[in-house]
Amino acid sequence: MSITIVPVSGLGNRMRVVASAVVAAPHVEGGIRVVWQPAWDCKASFNDLFLPLGKEEGVEIERGSLLDAPATKQNLLIPLLLRKRRYDAEYRCFRPEADFHLPDFVGQRRVYMDTCYALGPYEAGDVRRLFRPVPELQERIVATTSKFAPTTIGVHIRRKDNLKAIRYSPLTAFRKRIDGLLASGEAESVFLCTDDDHVKQYFREIYGKRLITRRVNTNRNSADGIRDAVVDLYSLAATNHIIGSYYSSFSETAAELSDASFEVMRENH
């Protein structure tokens, strides 16, 4: 049995798909082929962002071709038609059950799937080992984190198209929590990353010089935007405590890359 896996959606989603695929690879007879294709929600190739995986990981990240692209209305489902003779089964937008493991596919010699979900268990250490930013981005990460105070909290506020994050993680809740940490002396400064410039301005007016932000391209449909996202992600992971948004894989991935404590800001409605 061989499996082709195409990670889709945003940066954090893709990283967890890759991590779970690498962990599962030794248990899949015939191996796993991972295809990372730039798309509107992550317009950068794997090699634009990270160093190649080591050969010992048993998985190589490919860019692939039209044959590997997820079938959509925009491409008239042409990739799906092209794959009919190559694969025995295709799983589009695959969402595994809680107890699913990739080796569970039996009786299917060639399987294709695109997904934004982890395909089995993996450890935070796997994420730290597998994803190493390219030197240019690593330099920008170091330049950002050098501005941190000895105790800096990291705050990720997801907005734009993430309606659940907007609803369940309101700005007032973030502000209340940040105020408490600053007042208690548990934090001296705040590193904020967000996809909304209005949010930056809101907190800048409140916290002034105690707020650290970066001037970034927040357009996920550009390679520069995704490179900036990697710098934000690893800078967030370098803080002492992370406060993330509800229903955000970016917040969760930052926590996996970090030894810092992590909490999700959520208010029930």
Q: Report pLDDT for 82.
A: 94
The DSSP 8-state label assigned to residue 99 in this structure reads T
Question: Do 241 and 189 share a domain, yes or no?
Answer: yes
Task: Look up the CATH number of the domain holding residue 246.
Answer: 3.40.50.11350
Q: In what order do the strands lie in the sheet with 32-35?
A: 61-62, 32-35, 2-7, 110-115, 89-91
Tell me the pLDDT tens digit for each residue of 215-251: 999 999 999 999 999 999 999 999 999 999 999 999 9
Question: Do 141 and 237 share a domain, yes or no?
Answer: yes
Q: Which helix (H) or strand (E) holds 84?
A: none
Of the residues 126, 142, 169, the one at which a domain ends = 126
- Vertex 146, ends 143 and 149: CA angle to 5°? 150
Task: Look up the CATH number of the domain holding residue 8.
Answer: 3.40.1280
Of the residues 126, 148, 163, the one at which a domain ends = 126
Tell me the pLDDT tens digit for each residue of 120-138: 999 999 999 999 999 999 9
Q: Report pLDDT for 109.
A: 83
Question: Do 173 and 54 share a domain, yes or no?
Answer: no
Phi-psi region of 57 (alpha: psi -120 to 50; beta: other; left: phi over 0): alpha
Question: Do 159 and 223 share a domain, yes or no?
Answer: yes
Q: Report pLDDT for 100.
A: 83
Q: Report pLDDT for 27.
A: 87
Cβ atoms within 10 A of the Cβ of 69, count? Answer: 21
Question: Do 140 and 228 share a domain, yes or no?
Answer: yes
- Please identify every stretch of the chain with a pLDDT value under 70, giving residue numbers as ranges: 106-107, 269
Of the residues 101, 126, 151, the one at which a domain ends = 126
Q: Report pLDDT for 269.
A: 58
Question: Do 11 and 107 share a domain, yes or no?
Answer: yes
Question: Do 117 and 221 share a domain, yes or no?
Answer: no
- Vertex 160, ends 233 and 94: CA angle to 5°? 75
Q: Report pLDDT for 101.
A: 78
Question: Do 141 and 191 share a domain, yes or no?
Answer: yes
Q: Report pLDDT for 29.
A: 83
Question: Do 148 and 121 share a domain, yes or no?
Answer: no
Task: State the residue range of the domain holding 92.
Answer: 2-126
55 burial class (0-12, 13-18, 19+ CB within 10 angstroms)?
exposed
23, 52, 98 from 110: Cα distances, Å:
19, 25, 23
Question: Do 66 and 139 share a domain, yes or no?
Answer: no
Q: Report pLDDT for 113.
A: 96
Q: Report pLDDT for 31.
A: 87
Question: Do 108 and 140 share a domain, yes or no?
Answer: no
Question: Do 198 and 224 share a domain, yes or no?
Answer: yes
Total of domains in the chain: 2
